[in-house]
Amino acid sequence: MARKRKGRPVNGVLVVDKPAGISSNDAVQQAKRLFGAQKVGHTGSLDPLATGVLPLCFGEATKFSQFLLDADKKYWTRIRLGVTTETGDADGEVIAEADASSVTAAQVTEELEAFVGEIEQIPSMYSALKHQGQPLYKLARQGIEVERAPRKVTIYSAELLNVRESEIELFVHCSKGTYIRSLAEDLGAALGCGGHVSGLRRLAAGPYQEEQSISFEQLKAIDSPEALDALLLPVSSAVGSWPVMRLHQDTAHYLLRGQPVQVAHAPTEGWVQIFESGEEDRFLGVGEILTDGRIAPRRLVASD
């Protein structure tokens, strides 16, 4: 007999503005308590130091969280030059210092160019990446260091916003898996003075933007489940940039039973959102275009 989940069934995506000082999992647990929800998950860790856009998937939306994990991200970051820390950010012990007072905006801009495009990064020992099932940061706290293979990531743009004394501010648009702390360390090394992240804010994660986010203070001020639920974005918003296919009820019947279906004017390849046409279109899930042009169901939401 299946174990009954505690809480109420809640479905949708909540874009929270994560405050500094808590982990992404802390944010999940707070949201779960506030909504009294059965199931909540996040879509990619933000370090405790970081603030900003953290999409949380409730209920059926958790089926699509991987697509948000794979999405591009945008960040504002402040980097302190001349100080290298154990963790690559302001939470770590200082391990080296150098004079960065002579670094100019022109030098930073020139060195930044080498980091734009596809690059390789060695993940920090203080990242959430796992080694044999253990997060690297847990091993690091035990004084254990393991070899990490370089990972290919893409930085689409890295724009210098400000230079003030020994601190610089950047806007970074990057692919999944990019470590801003690694960028800070590598840029500091290229400038010959070292550096670490002293401030970090995520401005966007996939389709979700900073202006859509809501703080925990705002959430705590809401005293009814209905008002909280009204803040949730549709489950389909997680894949909102994908092509949309609308199926007649008869066609949807077969797709919901796991059968690929033929749909007129479908794309020739890739993944699509699938809706059942009606007075109000109903989101069914996502599918993939097969080589014969049919749409195969890949991830479906549970029926009401």
In DSSP notation, 41-77 reads EESS---TT-EEEEEEEEGGGGGGHHHHHTS-EEEEE
**DSSP 8-state class, residue 88:** S
To 5 degrees, how large is the angle CA 83–CA 88–CA 89? Answer: 85
Number of Cβ within 10 Å of residue 4's Cβ equals: 6
Number of Cβ within 10 Å of residue 205's Cβ equals: 25
Q: Are 78 and 168 in contact (CB under 8 A)?
A: yes
Q: Are 170 and 159 in contact (CB under 8 A)?
A: yes
Find the helix packing angle between 105-112 and 180-190, rounded to 10°.
Answer: 120
The contacts found for 261-268 with CB under 8 angstroms, 24 or more apart, are 261/294, 261/295, 262/293, 262/294, 262/295, 263/294, 263/295, 266/293, 266/295, 267/243, 268/293
The sign of the CA dihedral 30, 36, 38, 40 is negative
DSSP reduced 3-state for 207: coil
Q: Which amino acids are annotated catalytic?
A: 47
Which tokens hold the place of 44?
Answer: 């990619």
Which tokens hold the place of 50?
Answer: 């970081």
